[in-house]
Amino acid sequence: MLRIAARMEEPAPVEDPALPALAGGRHDALAAALTRVGLRGARTVALLKHHPGSRCTLAIAAGADRYVVKLFADAGKVLALSAVHQVLAGAGFASGAVPTVPRLIGVDTDAALLVTEMYAGPPITELVERGECDRAGRLAAQWLRAAATPGLTLGDPYDPRHALEEIHRYVCTIASAAGELGGRAGAVWDRLAADIPPPGYSDLRHGSFYLSHVFDLGDGPGVIDWDSFRQGPVEVDAGMMSAMAARWAVRRPNHAGAAQRAIAVFLDEVDDLVDPARLRWYRAAALLKFASYLARRRPDGWAVSAASLIGDAAMAWV
């Protein structure tokens, strides 16, 4: 899913008992599973991402081809995610023409893994970093416009009333890490609960529509990482993307201005698709989600960054 370095090395073993194909460095189970999905002799190139106890993403090579393997602690997640890819493919979003999702190569429920193609193009985060902000924003908008109304009824409901339950968990996570910040986040939740917009047209949404999940495939976008898919209005994804500017301001300040420009272009391109009240609502929800990530992981300086995100969410009603 990410472009990888040319040197082909085995990553360090991932010690996570929730992922039996990798636990203790035992790669035989992974190799056997890849053989079952038709990738005999595949070798690991890089560990792309690891969420302990949940999932792990690897880049692999089979001959001259590159693929992405996602291993899950829960085989049910594999079945759900493969269903998303199949439904999107059925709607024409994995035909090789953009906009698209990665082509599904294979699924193995015994090893709880899913294999997809790997994009050759870069994520639009790279476009933002090198100043191609307008193109980044337009690519994100192109996906949102294409996926706005295909009529795909898949995923848990994420209309505002259902979303409030998840947002409350974000507030609890923040409060458990810092009571004063939890109080501020709770005030935002109160405002969200008091200002619920109409639900809008519901369809399949990505659920974590970040800049890093959109790729530049030349003629249009490819969108990866559908783990958080859900059913809701288009503002679920538009609000998440619009919150990325604030997230970059605290996590990648050197490129914050470029990210802000990309998001401004994105919002201008989708202005006719989104309802302003719902966009504001889901953007505030996304900001609380980002703050809860910081509260759970607590990197250096997390409280200052979380306070900034929570403050930005509160400003939605000013």
pTM higher than 0.75 for the full model?
yes
Smallest Cα–Cα separation from 271: which of 316, 237, 238, 247? 238
Residue 257 — very low, low, confident or very high, per pLDDT cuts 50/70/90? Answer: very high
pLDDT for 6 beyond 60: no
Residue 9 — very low, low, confident or very high, per pLDDT cuts 50/70/90? Answer: very low
All structural domains of the chain: 23-117 (3.30.200.20), 124-317 (3.90.1200.10)
pLDDT tens across 102-129, in order?
999 999 999 999 999 999 999 999 999 9
pLDDT for 20 beyond 90: no
Q: Report the pLDDT averaged over residues 53-66.
A: 89
The token pair that represents 249 in the structure block = 């301001």
Question: What single letter denotes the amino acid at residue 224?
Answer: I
Percent of the chain with pLDDT over 70: 92
Measure the CA–CA gap between 147 and 83, rounded to whole angstroms.
17
Other Cβ atoms within 10 Å of 206 Cβ, number: 26
Contact predicate 58/43, CB 8 Å? no
Contact predicate 154/229, CB 8 Å? yes
Smallest Cα–Cα separation from 26: which of 6, 44, 49? 44
Q: Report the pLDDT averaged over residues 284-302.
A: 97
For residue 31, the surrounding DSSP H or E stretch is helix 28-36
Counting DSSP H helices and E strands in the chain, the numbers are 11, 9
Smallest Cα–Cα separation from 111: which of 163, 153, 74? 74
Integer CA distances (angstroms), 196 to 94, 190, 191, in order = 35, 10, 9
pLDDT tens across 266-283, in order?
999 999 999 999 999 999
The token pair that represents 270 in the structure block = 């989708």
pLDDT tens across 187-246, in order?
999 999 999 999 889 999 999 999 999 999 999 999 999 999 999 999 999 999 999 999
DSSP characters for 278-292? Answer: HHHHHHHHHHHHHHH
Q: Report the pLDDT averaged over residues 32-57.
A: 88
The token pair that represents 164 in the structure block = 């409030």
- Backbone torsions φ then ψ of 211, nearest 5 degrees: -60, -40
